[in-house]
Amino acid sequence: MRKITRYLVSLILVSQILAMALSSTLKVAAQPYKGVGVGDYFTYGKFSSWVDPTTAPKFQEWKLFENMSLANFTIVTNPLPTSQDEIIFSQKLVFSNATPSRTISGGVDLLTGVGQGYLFFVYAGLNKGERIYPQSQNYTYTVNATRKDPYWGGRDTFILNQTAVWGNQSMVFVQSTIVQWDKLTGAALRIVGETDGIAEGGNFIMRGGMGVELIATNRFPIEHPAGFGEMLPFYIVIAIILVVALIVVIVRASSGASTKKKWKRLKE
């Protein structure tokens, strides 16, 4: 009997060790991978474009954003951690006007930024002070800040906040670009740009901009916290329930006190 007990105890211990090892292996396997991989998709929406005054001419990028509804990138070639530094994707563009949607092949070089995926994809895991596209000849952008952003579910992000100036003596353009990327994948979460046109003497003659935001991906859930305005109906319902409950409690308490007084009088 003792031998059987010892065998059972040993069997239980071995099974527990195997279970722990298997659990550890599964945890390692379940760890999210860095960068993007084949089959990953990133869908962008909330395209916006504006100019003030409305009669001012728009840059080509603004015109494109004005008519865009959705842009989906599906990765077809695996980049890092291999020696390849280029992301190849299939891009589907959906327009808000009568323009038919179309699908094109494209890519972006993570070293130089050359390609249709410029600013939409960069190296994952960048930190403050690191170059966005390390070997770019035209863009020497560096990461300005990193932070956990509650708007993106507390995800680790890194941010570019860049200002560029160009023009001549009679007209100067000041362009501000803000891009926020997901640190795990290196995919853009939002891109916002604004350009001010300043005439000689410092007078603004035009101001315009564009914006886009990630709305869906297979890599992580996108659930933005509701603002007070969106939650107001919920707060109102809760307030009504609390008020009704308080009234019921007060009425019952008053009714109970009255009954006790009547019973006391009857006893007397």
Rounded CA separation 122/100 (Å):
29
Whether pLDDT at 256 is above 60: no
The predicted pLDDT at position 9 comes to 41
Calculate the dihedral angle through the C-alpha atoms of 54, 57, 61, 65, rounding to the nearest 10 degrees: 30
The predicted pLDDT at position 110 comes to 92
Output 157 or 196, whichever has higher pLDDT. Answer: 157
Phi and psi at residue 261, in whole multiples of 5°? -65, -45
Q: Is the dihedral of CA 102, 75, 34, 137 positive or negative?
A: negative
Q: What is the mean pLDDT of the chain?
A: 77
pLDDT in tens, 159-170: 999 888 877 777
What percent of the chain is helix, strand and coil (3-state, nearest 5)?
Answer: 30, 40, 35
Instruction: Specify the range with the lowest mean pLDDT, choosing from 46-55, 89-98, 252-261.
Output: 252-261
The predicted pLDDT at position 241 comes to 58
Whether pLDDT at 8 is above 90: no
The predicted pLDDT at position 26 comes to 40
The Cβ of residue 75 has, within 10 Å, a number of other Cβ atoms equal to 22
Output b/e per residue, 234-249; b: 16+ Cβ within 10 A. eeeeeeeeeeeeeeee
Q: What's the half-sphere exposure (Cβ side, CA atoms, 13 Å) at 39?
A: 2
Q: How far is C-alpha 105 from the geometric centre of its chain's CA atoms?
A: 24
Give the three-state DSSP class for 244.
Answer: helix
Phi and psi at residue 251, in whole multiples of 5°? -65, -45
The predicted pLDDT at position 27 comes to 44
Output 18 or 227, whichever has higher pLDDT. Answer: 227
Backbone Cα Rg of the chain:
30
Residues above pLDDT 70, as percent of the chain: 69
Question: Average pLDDT, stretch 117-134?
Answer: 94
Give the three-state DSSP class for 17.
Answer: helix
Instruction: Specify the range with the lowest mean pLDDT, choosing from 10-24, 40-54, 70-84.
Output: 10-24
Both structure tokens of 61: 């990028």
The predicted pLDDT at position 139 comes to 77
Q: How far is C-alpha 17 from the geometric centre of its chain's CA atoms?
A: 40
Instruction: Specify the range with the lowest mean pLDDT, choosing from 122-126, 217-221, 226-230.
Output: 226-230
Whether pLDDT at 93 is above 80: yes
The predicted pLDDT at position 77 comes to 77
Q: Where are the domains of the chain?
A: 1-31, 41-217
Whether pLDDT at 122 is above 90: yes
The answer, yes or no, to whether the previous bond of 221 is cis (omega within 30 of 0) is no
> Using 50, 70 and 90 to split pLDDT, how confident is the model at 132?
very high
Q: How far is C-alpha 97 from the geometric centre of its chain's CA atoms?
A: 26
The predicted pLDDT at position 216 comes to 97
Contact predicate 117/87, CB 8 Å: yes
Q: Is the dihedral of CA 208, 58, 52, 50 positive or negative?
A: negative
Task: Give, in degrees to the nearest 5, the angle at Cα 69 between 136 and 197.
Answer: 55
Whether pLDDT at 235 is above 60: no
